[in-house]
Structure 1
Amino acid sequence: MDYRPEDIRVLKGLEAVRLRPGMYIGSTGKSGLHHLLYEIIDNSMDEVMAGACDRIRVVLHEDGSAEVEDNGRGIPVEIHPETGKSTLETVMTVLHAGGKFSNSAYKVSGGLHGVGASVVNALSEVMEVWVRRNGRIYYQKYSRGQPICEVKELGETTERGTVVRFRPDPEIFSTTEFDPDIIENRLRELAFLNPGLTIEFEDKINDYKSKMSYAGGIKEYVSYIVKNTNSKPLHDIVYISDSYENIKVDIALVYIASQDEETLYSFVNNIRTIDHGTHVSAFRNVLTRLLNDYGKSLGYLRKDEAFLGEDVREGLVAVVSVLMPNPEFEGQTKGRLGSESAGTAVSKIAKERLTEFFEINKPVLKIILERVQQAKRAREAAKKVRELVKRKSAFDGAALPGKLADCVTNDVEKSELFIVEGDSAGGSAKQARDREFQAILPLRGKILNVEKSSIQKLLSNEQIKDIIVAVGTGIGEKFDRTRLRYGKIIIMTDADVDGAHIRVLLLTFFFRYMRPLIEEGRIYIAVAPLYRVQFSNRILYLYSDDEYQALMKELNGSEKVEVQRYKGLGEMNPEQLWETTMNPVTRRLIRVTIENAEEADALFGILMGQDTVERKNFIERHALKVTYLDV
């Protein structure tokens, strides 16, 4: 087929947003739907941070629309010098148009890319905006990103601010029903983070209203979090606040008695960074170093001992909030902060102010050190138990494979075994994993093709034996599912031909000798990214050449792009490996199941990237999604 000039499509205006909404809001499911509302709320919060707003009202209407009202300065409505249109229309219909690119309007803001309001408009069936500014009310209506009318002047007013009402487009979203509990929780966070701000929430569908205002700020927030646990604080809440090079840092923390893992919420310019980032890493590192220093000077540790990060984090409840100009987030959804300057500011302020606090409040310091020491002793005791009591394996009396990095939990349904291609990738995976529930078994090279091997040869093969012992069930007629050690078994290989070959060899082994694991849906394939692309303070991971080509065509040379193509899992650092391939929230998995030939062919397209008559015949014979590759 010819490749012709007319095959090149040029996307205009907001068309790209409707064609690829996931690039801008993360997904077209529930999270993406709520992200629309958060984008509009964030614009109002930027007015709060500019000192121009102290009241926000959010309403869910019966018709499925959401409304956000603030008493800020109001979006300018005058003619914009570059577009020749009203500034209001420009902001609502043009990507990368907003006040966040000029430091004169906003010194600190949550919106960075100038795409928030226009993206919401593009993905809304209907949007309406009222602006109260200069003693007058202005109005404009839109549908799917296009203005339905010119900006109108409706009359006079003594109030000021902006009201935005939008109804998400059912052509885009799988659900258009907002969850009031999720929204109220987000609004409560904002009220805690901004003392002096009043937020009103009304759910007209369920006839519910609430009003939130917290003078105590994040100290009150930490107290609120603790009240929702089944434990009590061990000391008064520690609160520090300071600024460094135009970056304001607020931290509140307390330790509780329960042995729960850390509860830490982090924010940048009021945006919740659910995957944390440089500000949280800096805080954790400083706290761990300080407690180690004090632990040794006050006799809680010997010179050759140390508290680990997990000891320090156990029972910790904390909120870390940073206000800064031009933060660098990884992705439009702003889940993780990448700004090194934020880490520097948090490190300096946390070290100085926590040291100052601990020197003045030695009783609180000793309570914290005793709590961390208790966590350290519990960790060491658990380790000894694990070393003394070997978990049962498929071979009676057989020790677990030496290369296996086992997990802590004994709960089979919560545990995961990653079978990883190569020692290098296995090393990164061991650093990246959550050791509580993720185990790593690295394999070197291609495993035995069990389809062409005898049972004696299979049982004498070291790699096959390691898999059998690690899984724990035995094989063939001696398969015993009650001895299964992991609820999920995840095959993690390179995104290349060799990796696909190894995946199919492993799937062949599981089908021939541990078929119940496939029937129960316990075998998975981890989908590793091919590309890491960075542009405009955004980082995207792409999983195929098609995704990469589509992005390049979409950018069309308009951005400076940095591209890293991964030749294998071993090229990814532990943080990247966790984020893309191992984090249960963000990873992509393929579940291997026994179904029909049509579905089998679809999966093989993913595994091998090509088609063969032999494979088709095998699939049709066995009606499977799995087969093997002859070597």
Structure 2
Amino acid sequence: MAKENYGADSLTVLEGLDAVRKRPGMYIGTTDSQGLMHCLWEIIDNSVDEALAGACDHITVTLHDDGSIEVADNGRGIPVDIEPKTKLTGVEVVLTKLHAGAKFGNASYNAAGGLHGVGSSVVNALSSRLDIEVDRDGKTHHMAFHQGHPGVYSDPDPAHPSPDSPFKRTRKNKATELEIIGKVSPKTTGTRIRYWADPEIFNDTAEFSYEQLIDRVRQTSFLVPGLRITVIDENIPETGDDAVDAVREIDGVEGGDAGEATPAEPAVPDAPAPGEAASDAEATPEDGATAPAPADGGAAADPAAGPRRYPHARVEEFLHTGGVRDFVDFLSKGEAVSDIWRITGEDTYEEETQAVDENGDLHARKVTRTCGVDIALRWVNGYDTTMRSFVNVVETPGGGMHVDGFLNGITKQIRKAVEDNARRLKVNLKDGSMRVERDDILAGLVAVVTVRIAEPQFQGQTKDVLGTAQVRPIVARMTDRQFGEMITGSKRGYKEQSGRVLEKIVGEMHARIQARKTKEVTRRKNALESASMPPKLSDCQPGNDDVAELFIVEGDSALGTAKAARNSSFQALLPIRGKILNVQKASLSQMLSNKECAAIIQVVGAGSGASFDIEQARYNKVIMMTDADVDGAHIRILLLTLFYRYMRPLIEHGRVYAAVPPLHRIALAGPHKGEYIYTYSDDELAGRLAELDRRHIAYNDDIQRYKGLGEMDADQLADTTMDPRTRMLRRIRMEDAEQASEIFSLLMGDDVPPRKQFIVDNADDFDRSKIDT
């Protein structure tokens, strides 16, 4: 085989943005939905950087009905004058040159998210068309691009630009003049970028996510207090000129919890048009809030003018003033163990960096950086961890140095506080296993960790992890000092809260230790041989794990009947004494010290909380078998609260059931003597009796009414409630975990007024069929 010729003519040089189009994954990660959304984040982050610099207070994101996206801000506007080195306008430099921008120095942006200088230019390269308008110096400047190359489009209808319109590319290496298309007030500045993602780049699976956009916009509004962000979706049918569209606006106040703003009186009497989002509410800015600027980048509207009118049905607007405190309040689900705690401050560090001199050359020099830290945290009653971290409003899902410093600080102080309060918390310091681990601390923690620094070092263009090492000791020292005052209770107003937090963390530690001990015991045979199971457990025979059932039975009297009614080869029985502890109100340590709760967790055999492992569960079904009365229903709710809080995967996998015992037994007479009909409600009883009368079937007038499971004979209990061939079970499902959490907190938590209001509000909606009897 002849050798291939390999010389200089075999090399390919990709100039300008061609390299981006050839290897887009290097810049946006992927060319699927993730990469499509990443392009939008790059453009939005540039506008947010203007807000961080104090030059912008309103950003508008418009989803046009032709598939394009427009981002407008009322910032300073991209420079339109000539950049000396390239002899190109600032607009063309920003949109066509990689690693070009005002964020490599420290004069224009002290803290910014887009620091690699590739954001706008990469989006331009990966767009079939991009149009930009800049308001500066009393004029509106315009420039257009096709796949990253500047030029001029000849749109048949200028009001409806299209990437398919004829395009004349500017000659290579020749500057493109900015077109002046209008005049504005000398005080009006801003930038508007509209782009069409190139289908030649993004694959067929790439889809735009409106939900991701709203989550990102909401998140940004928390992180930049006072910044109003409006999202307009033109894909929703127009509602007419007189419609005031739905506005989702949350306006928090620094130092207090944020809540959704109360809907204001509508500016016009017309009702919302059909199809308008029912969950959204119209709202007006609080006193002193910045009014939304016009979408065209003009001057801000008069705050007294009320909500801005938009011609489309889906408009969502976000504005927060409480910062990360409001963010933590928004993220918190479930009952709060503590208030929202705040860690804030600034410190400096030295860093060696490459600086650009007057001649455009790079030289190493040491600079002093300022690191601003703003952290909000609280604990809620649960074991899920919700932690969000940011650097200059850019989210870092992988964490990094700022998160490491925060976790090091709180871990150190919590361990110290536990040691100082070991006697009260019942912690044996001589036992080496009783040591608080980080997982114990993270259970139920809701935290937002943010830092603002100039020129942060990220790992990769997608900025998932902060790599600036000097940030970690700064955050650790600040957390160590301020959080230490809170968790020790030395700071005024924190003593009671810190006590509850420490009890929760120590409870998580005990649960973890207990779970480890449980896993060390082999599953069924060895567990029974070691006599570690509760003495009242009537277990089933080993070897039937895939069909094994655990009946949790109310009372010892019902247990005796159930023993005779069960199939001992696969049905186990565990009696409980009446109503168990309400774990929604109790702490973790109180739950673990409760004999009934501890016995249920031990018998299920899969641990509890974050350490729960459904693969280790000893039974395929867990069935609550309680009396068919109000007390029985209450016991089922208490049991479900225990399962939801500490063994949630059982419910998520559909392995929790409620037995449905009958209320009545009708004994037939005459030719049908010896036959029985069971009914499960008073309405069903009346209907069955009417049917028997209509069919002239005789029955005993003495209808048996079961007051409890213990009144049944074994054969009756087996036929109606326990035999898989004839019984009826009700499977407990959890379609919406978040809604379920709210309902459990409402109905079973400590806060009485909301529960009372719920009862009052729903009193008129009484439906007997909805009652679990």
Q: Tell me the equivalent position of 1:372.
A: 505
1:308 correspondence with 2:442: no
Q: Tell me the equivalent position of 1:272.
A: 395
Distance change >3 Å, CA 218–CA 387, structure 1 → 2: same
CA contact (8 A) 2:338 2:498 kept: no
- Cα offsets for 1:100-154 (capped at 9, x unmatched): 1121111111011100000000000110111011221111000110001431112
Distance in 2 between residues matched to 1:142 and 1:45, nearest whole Å = 23
- The structure in which a higher percent of residues are helix is 1
Select which of 194, 202, 207 maps to 1:173: 202
- Cα offsets for 1:596-618 (capped at 9, x unmatched): xxxxxxxxxxxxxxxxxxxxxxx
Distance in 2 between residues matched to 1:78 and 1:122, nearest whole Å = 22
Letter in 2 for 1:117: S
Distance in 2 between residues matched to 1:198 and 1:410, nearest whole Å = 44
1:286 correspondence with 2:409: yes
1:350 correspondence with 2:479: yes
1:80 correspondence with 2:83: yes
1:11-410 matches, within 5 Å, as 11-149=14-152, 150=176, 151-158=178-185, 159-174=188-203, 175=205, 177-206=207-236, 207-226=313-332, 229=333, 231-245=334-348, 246-260=370-384, 262-299=385-422, 300=425, 301-304=427-430, 305-358=434-487, 359-360=490-491, 361-390=494-523, 410=613
The alpha-carbon deviation at position 259 of structure 1 amounts to 2.3
CA contact (8 A) 1:26 1:32 kept: yes
Pair member with larger Rg: 2
Letter in 2 for 1:219: R
Normalized against structure 2, the TM-score is what?
0.50
Q: What SS does the aligned partner of 1:253 have? A: strand
Moved over 6 A (4+): none
CA contact (8 A) 1:296 1:302 kept: no
Q: What SS does the aligned partner of 1:205 have? A: strand
Distance in 1 between residues matched to 2:62 and 2:344, nearest whole Å = 33
CA contact (8 A) 1:279 1:337 kept: yes
Distance in 1 between residues matched to 2:39 and 2:192, nearest whole Å = 15
Distance in 1 between residues matched to 2:512 and 2:133, nearest whole Å = 58
Q: What SS does the aligned partner of 1:284 have? A: helix
1:466-505 matches, within 5 Å, as none
Distance in 2 between residues matched to 1:266 and 1:12, nearest whole Å = 36
Q: What SS does the aligned partner of 2:107 have? A: coil
Distance in 2 between residues matched to 1:370 and 1:408, nearest whole Å = 18
Distance in 2 between residues matched to 1:220 and 1:108, nearest whole Å = 22
Letter in 2 for 1:244: D
Letter in 2 for 1:191: S
The alpha-carbon deviation at position 9 of structure 1 amounts to 0.7
1:533-572 matches, within 5 Å, as none
The alpha-carbon deviation at position 176 of structure 1 amounts to 5.2
Distance in 1 between residues matched to 2:445 and 2:329, nearest whole Å = 12
Q: What SS does the aligned partner of 1:291 have? A: helix
- Cα offsets for 1:395-449 (capped at 9, x unmatched): x99xxxxxxxxx9664469xxxxxxxxxxxxxxxxxxxxxxxxxxxxxxxxxxxx
The two structures, once aligned, show a CA RMSD in angstroms of 2.2
Distance in 1 between residues matched to 2:382 and 2:400, nearest whole Å = 26
Distance in 2 between residues matched to 1:412 and 1:146, nearest whole Å = 57
Letter in 1 for 2:378: V
Distance in 2 between residues matched to 1:134 and 1:412, nearest whole Å = 68
CA contact (8 A) 2:231 2:316 kept: yes
Letter in 2 for 1:163: R
Distance in 1 between residues matched to 2:463 and 2:79, nearest whole Å = 26
The alpha-carbon deviation at position 356 of structure 1 amounts to 3.0
Distance in 2 between residues matched to 1:349 and 1:373, nearest whole Å = 24
The alpha-carbon deviation at position 390 of structure 1 amounts to 4.5
Distance in 2 between residues matched to 1:117 and 1:387, nearest whole Å = 56
Distance in 2 between residues matched to 1:256 and 1:410, nearest whole Å = 22
Distance in 1 between residues matched to 2:59 and 2:471, nearest whole Å = 28
1:501-540 matches, within 5 Å, as none
Distance in 2 between residues matched to 1:391 and 1:115, nearest whole Å = 60
Aligned length: 400
Distance change >3 Å, CA 408–CA 365, structure 1 → 2: closer
The alpha-carbon deviation at position 374 of structure 1 amounts to 1.0
Distance change >3 Å, CA 391–CA 266, structure 1 → 2: farther
Q: Structure 1 stretches of 5 or more lacking a match?
A: 398-406, 414-631
Distance in 1 between residues matched to 2:482 and 2:94, nearest whole Å = 41
Distance in 2 between residues matched to 1:205 and 1:72, nearest whole Å = 27
Q: What SS does the aligned partner of 2:132 have? A: strand
1:2 correspondence with 2:5: yes
Normalized against structure 1, the TM-score is what?
0.61
- Cα offsets for 1:441-471 (capped at 9, x unmatched): xxxxxxxxxxxxxxxxxxxxxxxxxxxxxxx
Q: Tell me the equivalent position of 1:559.
A: none
